[in-house]
Structure 1
Amino acid sequence: MSNYGRLYERDGRNILVFKRKYSYSPEKVFRFITEPDYFTRWYPFATGDMDLRVGGKIKFDDGEGSFYEAVITEFLPPYSFCFREIDDLLEISLDETAQGCTLTFSHTFDDRTMAIYTAAGWHRCLDVLDQLIHGHTVEWKDNAFELREYYKTNL
């Protein structure tokens, strides 16, 4: 299984999908996805202000004066966490396997011209999530250009 994302189209919208395998239980991985102290370390602009329930809000700050909220659309620990961020839908699910679990991260959005940048960005964020899950020191690699080049020819 590759760590690279794939782009699909459904009902006129773009869906970027990443899959990652972990040798840990869904319960352990779900903590890193949803607990505010971890969420703010891998998810862009997250403030840690999260009401973890369906209909609950997640607050974001882009650091440049823009604040916005997402609304949680599904919250089924330890298997799914989904929310609508402005017009985009983010879906994170965990499927139990004999060796641990598989994480599926999906981002549904409209503007296909942003797909290369979106894919490279999420790839980097999920790499940091991997580091957190494995107990490694967080290091944001300087690989955005290389990832955009990869996705330019592979989406």
Structure 2
Amino acid sequence: MMNDYGTLHKSNGRYALRFERFFPHNTEDVFHVITNPSYFSQWYPFATGEMDLRLGGKIDFDDGEGTTYQGNITDLEEPYLFGFREGDDLINISLVEQGEVCRMVFTHTFNDESWAVNTAAGWHRCLDVLDQIVNRHPIKWQDNSAKLREIYSELLKTEG
């Protein structure tokens, strides 16, 4: 499993968790997995699989507890950039081809630092599953939430 830990950054009173992952595929293939609604709903929390993939398009979410909501696509430049707003939060995924690999930078910008550790642990797990999907491995969610929260408690304390 991947062990590429995210980092926390503060800018203009907001916080950003940033993760980098590398895939042995071209940007087109990785972009397709990231933006294909059926794949997206397998790795992205609360995604329903309903997505209007265009600038300004909507993405439907369901928290599983009766609340549904929409995000909207703010950046879309195939096969390099996919970004959207989910409430006050911004998600930005950029892809760069570097030789034989695709470098993905995943950034989640949000307001409340108190959620950073839990959010980092959650994204780490989701991006591990994205890695499995991109590499055509069977999806297996690891039972490592508590361990990741412990790791991120230490990592983010020294970076924040």
Matched-pair contact (CA < 8 Å) for 1:39–1:48: yes
Distance 1:62 1:12 in 2: 27
Q: Which residue of 1 aligns with 2:111?
A: 110
Separation in 1 of the partners of 2:134 and 2:60?
23
Task: Return the letter of the residue paired with 1:129.
Answer: L
Which 5+ residue runs of structure 2 have no aligned equivalent? none
Match of 1:25 in 2: 26
The answer to whether the 8 Å contact 1:57/1:69 transfers is yes
Q: Which amino acid aligns with 2:96?
A: D
AA aligned to 1:43 is Y
Letter in 2 for 1:116: V
Q: Is the 8 A contact 1:20 1:104 kept in 2?
A: yes
1:143 corresponds in structure 2 to: 144
Q: Which residue of 2 aligns with 1:75?
A: 76
Residue equivalent to 2:101: 100
Please give the root-mean-square deviation of Cα atoms over the aligned residues, in Å: 1.0
Whole-Å separation in 2 of the counterparts to 1:130 and 1:10: 28
For structure 1, the 5+ residue unaligned runs are none
Match of 1:5 in 2: 6
The answer to whether the Cα contact below 8 Å between 1:2 and 1:19 also exists between their aligned partners in 2 is no
Q: Any idea what the Cα deviations from partners look like across 1:32-90, whole Å, max 9, x if unmatched?
A: 10001100000011011100111100000011000010010011111000000000000
**Which residue does the alignment assign to 1:37?**
38
Is the partner of 1:19 in helix, strand or coil?
strand
User: What residue is the counterpart of 1:91 in the other structure?
Assistant: 92
- With the length of structure 1 as denominator, give the TM-score of the two structures: 0.98
- Runs of 4 or more, structure 1, over 6 Å off, are none
Displacement of 1:100: 1.8
> In 2, Cα distance between the equivalents of 1:76 and 1:27?
11
Amino acid at match of 1:125: C
Map 1:58-69; keep pairs closer than 5 Å.
58-69=59-70
SS at match of 2:38: helix
Aligned partner letter, 2:111: D
- The C-alpha deviation readout for 1:105-126, integer Å capped at 9, x for no partner, is 0000011010000000000000
Percent identity reads 54
Which amino acid in 2 is paired with 1:126? L
